[in-house]
Amino acid sequence: MRHYPHLYIDGRWTEPSEPREVELVDPTREEPFALVALGGATEVDRAVAAARRAFESFSTTSLDERIALIDRIIDVYESRIDEFSELIAREVGIPVANRAQVTGPAEHMRVARDLLRDYSFESRVGGAIVRREPIGVCALISPWNWPVQTGVIKLIYALAAGCTVVAKPSLNSAASGALLAEVLHQAGVPAGVFNLVSGTGRVVGDALSHHPDVDMISFTGSTGAGKQVGAAAAGTVKRVCLELGGKSANIVLPDADLERAARWNVQRCFFNAGQSCHAPSRMLVHESQVEQVVPFLVDEAERYCLGDPLEPSTTMGPVVSAAQFKSIREHIQSGLDDGANLVTGGLERPDGLERGHFVRPTVFTGVTPEMRIAQEEIFGPVLAVLPYRDEDDALRIANDSPYGLGGFVFGRDRERARRVVNGLRAGRVSFNGAATDSHTPMGGYKQSGIGRSMGRFGLEEYLEVKSVYGFDDEAQTLPTLFG
């Protein structure tokens, strides 16, 4: 049994004021594998106070100092990548073969570091100076499905901006949160600049959201929890950045390469066992072509090797918890009850896996827009294939959702595809499976969130804007804000 008995506050490992711990359950073996300390409101107060004290000096550090700090963090992190890979396999079932989960964070650190070299914190508009200054103490609440990368994206841009941080990882991934704190401590992050308080959302998350000395809160998680964070934060009018749920649609136009579109959709939807907010969990296919894509969908879904995520041959591990396992199976049952056509997968356990929270990759056709599996975020390896009549019908179905995080379009006619891309109400849209870029903003429309992360837009979430007048001569030496 691993043991993480400490929180990280003001540069020191410290036990909670009231000894409390939670067991982390390995979703593969359904057995406890770690004990993690739980903080409470007292620890939140101490961490916020430490961050407030540290902000006075850290906010005035030079860009060269912050760049050097990020370089040290990168070096220490990369020396411990294998530890992170093994730990998140045990924590949340992510296969060690999924290297993107552990190599991605270092890439985001490098993007933030390089941005600092070119970013203008002062610009001019006419004769005025427009300054961007660090917002202050930032509360960062991260999810379990990308347990390292999401937390890293939040904290590295906060540090790049000159802010100080109180981080709360998901309880499901609290051990990797502690390991990340070890990295930052080893890299020499100044005392109070980064603090870690593990705990429940009901206690620690709520205390951070309400805290009058927290200037900004960045939350990634469900839409329901995000609404609670936003409501709590409103009491002190703190800035809120939310990345919430998704039910992304992939519109496959009639002239698309159907095999390529189908295989890519399965790969992207079932990545991370479907536990991704950007997953294209709705595939929209012209009504005359649905039967043509089914063999490709089935073949690709049945290629997954389910098993122990610590085995290099495993390409899909278990879902994170018993609660998630139950929820996904309820959604599959609802698809059956509503009359959708199950073409592969289903409720039965995968062969040879009698223990663990394993869900068979599942594909439904004959799905209609009002069905529960077409409307709700399932957060598991379940794909709903919906037919459409024409381009307008496809956009109507795709946009008929409270979510607007991601979107996808496949086709050959670029002008037509661009028109469809522009019609999707979503924060990120990819054409023909094009890869995303960590320099570009990520965030959602509608109930998928507020604000953006990553790149220049992500950095500016952690910056306040100040207009300064009366320094006309000095302003002329600065770059113009609007080109």
The predicted-structure confidence for 268-287, as pLDDT tens digits, reads as follows: 999 999 999 999 999 999 99
- What mean pLDDT, rounded, does the chain reach? 97
Dist. CA 309–CA 296, nearest whole Å: 26
254 and 387 co-located in one domain:
yes
182 and 267 co-located in one domain:
no
239 and 253 co-located in one domain:
no
Any domain includes 438: no
186 and 123 co-located in one domain:
yes
100 and 173 co-located in one domain:
yes
Any domain includes 479: no
Which residues, in sequence order, are CB contacts of 352 under 8 Å at separation 6+? none
Q: What is the mean pLDDT of residues 229-250?
A: 97
What are 306-344's pLDDT values in tens digits?
999 999 999 999 999 999 999 999 999 999 999 999 999
Report residue 251's pLDDT band, with 50, 70 and 90 as the boundaries.
very high
DSSP state of 171: G
Residue 210 sits in a domain whose CATH number is 3.40.605.10
Amino acid in position 444: G
177 and 323 co-located in one domain:
no
40 and 161 co-located in one domain:
yes
* Count of domains observed in the chain: 2
Any domain includes 339: yes
Dist. CA 2–CA 258, nearest whole Å: 48
58 and 197 co-located in one domain:
yes
314 and 399 co-located in one domain:
yes
The confidence score (pLDDT) of residue 361 equals 98
**Predicted confidence (pLDDT) at residue 449 exceeds the cutoff of 80:** yes
The confidence score (pLDDT) of residue 483 equals 63
CB contact at 8 A, 306 and 341: no
What are 136-163's pLDDT values in tens digits?
999 999 999 999 999 999 999 999 999 9
Annotated active-site positions, please? 243
Query: H or E segment at 229?
Result: helix 223-234
Dist. CA 171–CA 38, nearest whole Å: 9
Pairing relationship of beta strands 21-26 and 31-37 according to DSSP bridges: antiparallel
Any domain includes 478: no
The confidence score (pLDDT) of residue 482 equals 81
Any domain includes 129: yes
Query: H or E segment at 429?
Result: strand 428-431
Residue 263 sits in a domain whose CATH number is 3.40.309.10
Its domain, for residue 343, covers: 249-431
213 and 260 co-located in one domain:
no
255 and 239 co-located in one domain:
no
What are 398-442's pLDDT values in tens digits?
999 999 999 999 999 999 999 999 999 999 999 999 999 999 999
395 and 316 co-located in one domain:
yes
Q: What percent of the chain has pLDDT over 90?
A: 99
The confidence score (pLDDT) of residue 229 equals 97
What are 256-270's pLDDT values in tens digits?
999 999 999 999 999
Any domain includes 424: yes
What are 348-406's pLDDT values in tens digits?
999 999 999 999 999 999 999 999 999 999 999 999 999 999 999 999 999 999 999 99
Any domain includes 443: no
The confidence score (pLDDT) of residue 87 equals 97
The confidence score (pLDDT) of residue 481 equals 87
Any domain includes 211: yes
